[in-house]
């Protein structure tokens, strides 16, 4: 509460007493409500319940080519507020101070455009990466019902960093350096461990159909290593009728940057899509030798949530995954049907199988309704932990501000 009031006071003192400070103001953020129900015969990994997350803020010009961004977030797990007493039904809510203490600053930065005529700079707390990235994304995540009330993964995450960007018709380069915090997955209100990080991401537009990307990131004093990170690249060929892409990345760890060890972790991901009017058949092959990244790839409604950042655990030695799916669009509706086969990297065990159906409905330009159902049949090591099978259903609404 004191921190929030202090921030508002600093902003009030620092800002000129003029309406010009809100020039070109744009409201930003979204509201997501998502509920899930999971049936299983074990004490396993999935939760049942309803979560609300609100991201709300704005961006505005403070000078020519200078723009400020500020965003707050609030999370509420339905039914977690106090009730009157042990015999009552319904909640009386929390105090105003308690609600304010739950509001967190997730974005607070200044963007400066065209320094020297070609360089863009963003300074402060910010989101980073592409939402569909397999290896690096720090920001809000969507359509994920597996949000433990005590988990840091409920919240949109951000970096305190400086990002330098340059772009022309051929290349788009981002260089970032800052501080990243890590948590053990619980008690986000407790301070985590801080790790200096830096990295670079370069995307090349070779022609209208062919593009490439290379990247590398290093974290200091992470996982008991002086340096820990990864580097890799991706190539995409996308004419009008289809798309194919291939990505390869490797971890490194040690006293020196880019230091590798025997049996070094790595991952390979290949995607293919065919665009047939309303139908889009697609396929993915994923192979991970205990690779560790910080991306947003969660294959499937069930098993994908178990993989976490490792994109391989709890599979022994890594993960081998096959995915076949098809998307169908009809007016405001989008249907996605998927089948997955998950195995340990060496395919020593029978595959765990999963089938999912996800439906989205664009109510209007700002509101989307969505629902999903998934079934997983576990084999071998997963069967010993999670039981024979799981069935999951989820439903939600996403409101873009």
Instruction: Express each pLDDT in 72-129 by its tens digit.
Output: 999 888 877 776 666 667 777 788 888 888 899 999 999 999 999 999 999 999 999 9
User: What is the predicted pLDDT for the residue at 323?
Assistant: 98
Dmax over CA atoms of the chain, in Å, equals 69
User: What's the confidence (pLDDT) of residue 180?
Assistant: 84
Q: What is the pLDDT of residue 324?
A: 98
The whole-number pLDDT of residue 49 equals 82
The residue that leads in pLDDT, 303 or 92, is: 303
Residues of the chain with pLDDT > 70, as a percent, come to 85
| 131 conformational bin, left if phi > 0, alpha if psi -120 to 50, beta if neither | alpha
Q: Which helix (H) or strand (E) holds 4?
A: helix 2-14
- Show contacts of 282-285: CB within 8 Å, 24+ apart: 282/324, 282/325, 282/326, 282/327, 283/322, 283/323, 283/324, 283/325, 284/321, 284/322, 284/323, 284/325, 285/321, 285/322, 285/323
Which of 20 and 59 is assigned the larger pLDDT? 59
pLDDT score of 356: 97
Tell me the two tokens of residue 306: 């178990």
Q: Is 50 left (phi over 0), alpha (psi -120 to 50) or beta?
A: beta
3-state secondary structure string across 301-370 = CCHHHHHHHHCCCCCCCCEEEEEEEEEEEECCEEEEEEEEEEEECCCCCCCEEEEEEEEEEECCCCEEEE
* pLDDT over threshold 70, residue 262: yes
pLDDT of residue 80: 78
Tell me what pLDDT residue 186 has. Answer: 47
Tokens of 150: 């005590």
- In this predicted structure, which of 2-16, 257-271, 305-319, 365-379 has the lowest mean pLDDT? 2-16
Rounded to the nearest 5°, which phi and psi values hold at 75?
Answer: -125, 135
Own/partner contacts of 384-391, CB < 8 Å, gap of 24 or more, are 385/42, 385/44, 385/314, 386/40, 386/42, 386/44, 386/45, 387/40, 387/41, 387/42, 387/44, 388/41, 389/40, 389/41, 390/38, 390/39, 390/40, 390/44, 390/46, 390/302, 391/38, 391/39, 391/40
pLDDT of residue 2: 47
Q: 12-21, 88-97, 314-323: which has the minimum mean pLDDT?
A: 12-21
Q: How confident is the model at residue 40 (pLDDT cuts 50, 70, 90)?
A: low
Percent composition of the chain: helix, strand, coil (DSSP 3-state, to 5)? 10, 55, 35
Higher pLDDT, residue 4 or 324: 324
User: What is the phi-psi region of residue 311: left when phi exceeds 0, alpha when psi lies from -120 to 50, beta otherwise?
Assistant: left
pLDDT at 36 (0 to 100): 87
Tokens found for residue 30: 């979204």
List pLDDT tens digits, range 214-246: 999 999 988 888 999 999 999 999 999 999 999
pLDDT in the model for residue 8: 46
Residue, of 100 and 71, whose pLDDT is higher: 71
Taking Cα atoms as reference points, which of 315, 306, 321 lies closest to residue 392?
Answer: 306
DSSP 8-class letter at 151: B
Nearest to 252 by CA among 234, 265, 268: 265
pLDDT for the residue numbered 188: 45
pLDDT tens by residue, 156-204? 889 999 999 999 999 999 999 999 887 654 444 445 578 899 999 999 9
| Confidence bin at 66 (pLDDT 50/70/90) | very high
Query: Residue range 361-387: average pLDDT?
Result: 88
Question: DSSP letter string over 70-99?
Answer: EEEEEEEETT-S-BSSTT--SB----HHHH
Give the tokens for residue 340: 């997955």
Name 212's bridge partners: 204, 235
Percentage of the chain surpassing pLDDT 90? 56
């Amino acid at each position: 509460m004191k921190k929030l009031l202090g921030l508002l006071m600093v902003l009030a003192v620092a800002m000129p007493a003029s309406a010009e400070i809100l020039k070109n103001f744009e409201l930003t953020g979204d509201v997501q409500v998502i509920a899930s129900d999971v049936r299983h015969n074990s004490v396993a990994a999935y939760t049942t319940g309803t979560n609300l997350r609100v991201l709300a803020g704005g961006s505005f010009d403070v000078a020519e080519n200078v723009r400020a961004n500020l965003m707050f977030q609030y999370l509420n797990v339905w039914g977690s507020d106090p009730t009157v007493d042990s015999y009552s039904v319904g909640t009386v809510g929390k105090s105003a101070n308690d609600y304010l203490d739950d509001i967190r600053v997730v974005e607070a930065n200044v963007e400066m455009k065209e320094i020297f005529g070609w360089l863009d700079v963003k300074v402060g707390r910010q989101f980073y990466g592409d939402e569909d990235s397999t290896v690096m994304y720090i920001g809000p995540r969507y359509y994920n019902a597996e949000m433990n009330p005590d988990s840091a993964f409920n919240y949109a995450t951000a970096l305190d960093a400086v990002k330098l960007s340059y772009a022309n018709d051929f290349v788009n380069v981002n260089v970032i350096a800052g501080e990243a915090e890590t948590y053990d997955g619980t008690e986000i209100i407790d301070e985590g461990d801080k790790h200096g990080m830096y990295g670079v991401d370069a995307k090349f537009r070779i022609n209208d159909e062919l593009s490439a990307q290379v990247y590398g990131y290093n974290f200091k004093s992470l996982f008991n290593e002086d340096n820990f990170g990864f580097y890799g690249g991706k190539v995409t060929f996308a004419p009008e009728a289809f798309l194919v892409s291939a990505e390869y990345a490797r971890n490194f760890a040690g006293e020196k940057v880019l230091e590798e060890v025997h049996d070094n972790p790595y991952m390979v991901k290949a995607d293919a899509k065919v665009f047939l009017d309303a139908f889009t058949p697609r396929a993915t092959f994923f192979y991970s030798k205990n690779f560790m990244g910080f991306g947003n790839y969660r294959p499937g409604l069930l098993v994908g949530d178990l993989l976490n950042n490792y994109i391989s655990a709890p599979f022994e030695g890594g993960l081998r995954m096959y995915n076949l799916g098809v998307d169908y669009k009809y007016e405001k509706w989008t249907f996605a049907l998927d089948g997955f086969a998950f195995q340990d990297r060496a395919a020593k065990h029978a595959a765990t199988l999963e089938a999912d159906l996800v439906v989205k409905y664009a109510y209007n330009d700002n509101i989307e309704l969505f629902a999903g159902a998934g079934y997983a049949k576990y084999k071998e090591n997963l069967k010993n932990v999670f039981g024979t099978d799981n069935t999951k259903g989820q439903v939600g609404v996403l409101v873009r501000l």
